[in-house]
Amino acid sequence: MWLNNILETIGNTPLIKLNKITKDIPATVLAKVDYFNPGNSIKDRMAIKMIEVAEKEGKLKPGGTIIECTSGNTGMGLALAACVKGYKCIFTTTDKQSKEKMDILKAVGAEVIVCPTNVEPDDPRSYYSIARRLAKEIPNSFHCNQYDNLANRLAHYESTGPEIWEQTEGKITHLVCTAGTGGTVTGTAMYLKEKNPNIQVWAIDVYGSLLTKFFNTGEVDMNEVHPYVSEGFGEDFVPDNYDMSVIDRFEQVTDKDGAVMARRIAKEEGLFCGYSAGSCLQGLMQLKDKLKKDDLVVCIFHDHGSRYVGKIYNDQWMMERGFLDVKSFKDIVNGRKNSQKL
Ligand code: PMP
């Protein structure tokens, strides 16, 4: 038995019970571990969907060029699909993203253009503007626009949602998910709420993003926006993929708490996940008093830790940002010195 190509391995990722970090929570907490996708993230699901819909609508033709603003994960999914289907890829990204992420994209044949992080989305230097401009200039190109392309949330409505429903035999009571473009949380929640409108959907955001305030007040408040180091979620605008009516609550997490929790997930649960998985579980821990014994919580863990080895999994990087407390860092260093003496 074999598969016809790598794209056939997308989806059907495992749901894994968390046992240690969540031991004081009365509910059962499961993680949908989407780093098992071939591009090591959940974004493979929407990448292939955006391409399939564009092909069907005649927006992407043979030999065409796929253009996208991506922090890496969407790019990886698109690049894999482009290899198999014979398209070229050009990605714009920000100078905040891990170098590892960009090198991986180049390894699978994509061209990567690095743009400044701290400019407004409408600034001609922003990674949104550059992608839009390239799409106009390059013939036979297709700008995926994961933010406003509803094939993004459709992918999760058609795959992530049904998988979670089946894997929990319809017993899920809470969905917890970090929110960036909004595709994952909205698409998954749309499906699950159709099945059972009582399921609670908690979107996890980061301080420095305006999504939480927008959810709570309807106001797009740029005063909320400031640079943050968490990767993959939070936004400085509200993408079209959101349907806020399927989300029950937004919860914000600090850069430090998300990073520390990701390291705990790796050490205590053996799941080597990305930054946003830490933020997702941290968000749940902040809301744990709302859970009861019979609740069945599903947290979505978007990607793999290998892309963050130079960041949250690096003690020096954590120290420099005040994320690792100096005493425990000194203990580690002293421990090493002592073990060398021995
Ligand atoms: N975490 C990571 C690592 C991601 O790459 C993304 C996608 N930007 C998200 C969380 C948020 O998912 P979404 O864009 O579907 O809201």
Rounded distance between C-alpha atoms, residue 216 and residue 60, angstroms? 38
- 253, 323 in Cβ contact below 8 A? no
Which atom of ligand 1 is closest in space to residue 187's alpha carbon? 15
pLDDT given for residue 94 in this prediction: 86
Rounded distance between C-alpha atoms, residue 93 and residue 91, angstroms? 6
Record the pTM.
0.93
* Ligand 1 contacts CB of residue 43 (under 6 A): yes
Test site for ligand 1: of 202, 255, 273, 276, most ligand atoms within 8 A of the Cβ: 276
Rounded distance between C-alpha atoms, residue 333 and residue 44, angstroms? 39
**What are 154-205's pLDDT values in tens digits?**
999 999 999 999 999 999 999 999 999 999 999 999 999 999 999 999 999 9
Test site for ligand 1: of 144, 154, 235, 302, most ligand atoms within 8 A of the Cβ: 302
Sign, Cα dihedral of 128, 134, 137, 140:
negative
Paired residues of 69 in beta bridges: 92
Ordered strands of the 65-69 beta sheet: 111-115, 88-94, 65-69, 141-143
pLDDT given for residue 337 in this prediction: 66
Among candidates 19, 13, 3, which has minimal Cα distance to 44? 13
Pairing mode, if any, of strands 88-94 and 111-115? parallel
* Ligand 1 contacts CB of residue 179 (under 6 A): yes
Test site for ligand 1: of 33, 157, 233, most ligand atoms within 8 A of the Cβ: 233
Which residue is associated with the tokens 């290899």?
83
Q: How many H helices and E strands in the chain?
A: 12, 10
* Ligand 1 contacts CB of residue 181 (under 6 A): yes
Rounded distance between C-alpha atoms, residue 51 and residue 115, angstroms? 24
- 291, 26 in Cβ contact below 8 A? yes
| Averaged pLDDT, 220-229 | 95
- What is the number of other CB atoms lying within 10 angstroms of the CB of residue 257? 21
* Ligand 1 contacts CB of residue 313 (under 6 A): no
Which atom of ligand 1 is closest in space to residue 182's alpha carbon? 16
Rounded distance between C-alpha atoms, residue 78 and residue 81, angstroms? 5
Rounded distance between C-alpha atoms, residue 278 and residue 266, angstroms? 9
Residue 181: alpha-carbon gap to chain centroid:
9
* Ligand 1 contacts CB of residue 303 (under 6 A): yes
Here the tokens at position 160 are 């992530």
Pairing mode, if any, of strands 141-143 and 249-253? unpaired
| Averaged pLDDT, 205-220 | 98
Checking if the pLDDT of 227 tops 70, the result is yes
Contacts (Cβ under 8 Å, ≥6 apart) of 239? 147, 148, 181, 182
**What are 65-115's pLDDT values in tens digits?**
999 998 689 999 999 999 999 999 999 998 877 787 788 899 999 999 999
Which atom of ligand 1 is closest in space to residue 146's alpha carbon? 14
Give the angle 221-227-231 at the CA atoms, nearest 5°.
Answer: 110
The residue from 20, 23, 32, 43 that is catalytic is 43
3-state secondary structure of 327: helix
Pairing mode, if any, of strands 65-69 and 141-143? parallel
Rounded distance between C-alpha atoms, residue 304 and residue 273, angstroms? 4
Here the tokens at position 279 are 């933020």
**What are 291-330's pLDDT values in tens digits?**
999 999 999 999 999 989 999 999 999 999 999 977 666 6
* Ligand 1 contacts CB of residue 234 (under 6 A): no
pLDDT given for residue 105 in this prediction: 92
SS3 annotation, 191-250: HHHHHCCCCEEEEEEEECECHHHHHHHCCCCHHHCCCCCCCCCCCCCCCCCCCHHHCCEE
* Ligand 1 contacts CB of residue 126 (under 6 A): no
Rounded distance between C-alpha atoms, residue 114 and residue 127, angstroms? 8
Residue 88 catalytic? no
DSSP per-residue codes, 39-92: TSBTHHHHHHHHHHHHHHTTSS-TT-EEEEE-SSHHHHHHHHHHHHHT-EEEEE
Paired residues of 137 in beta bridges: none
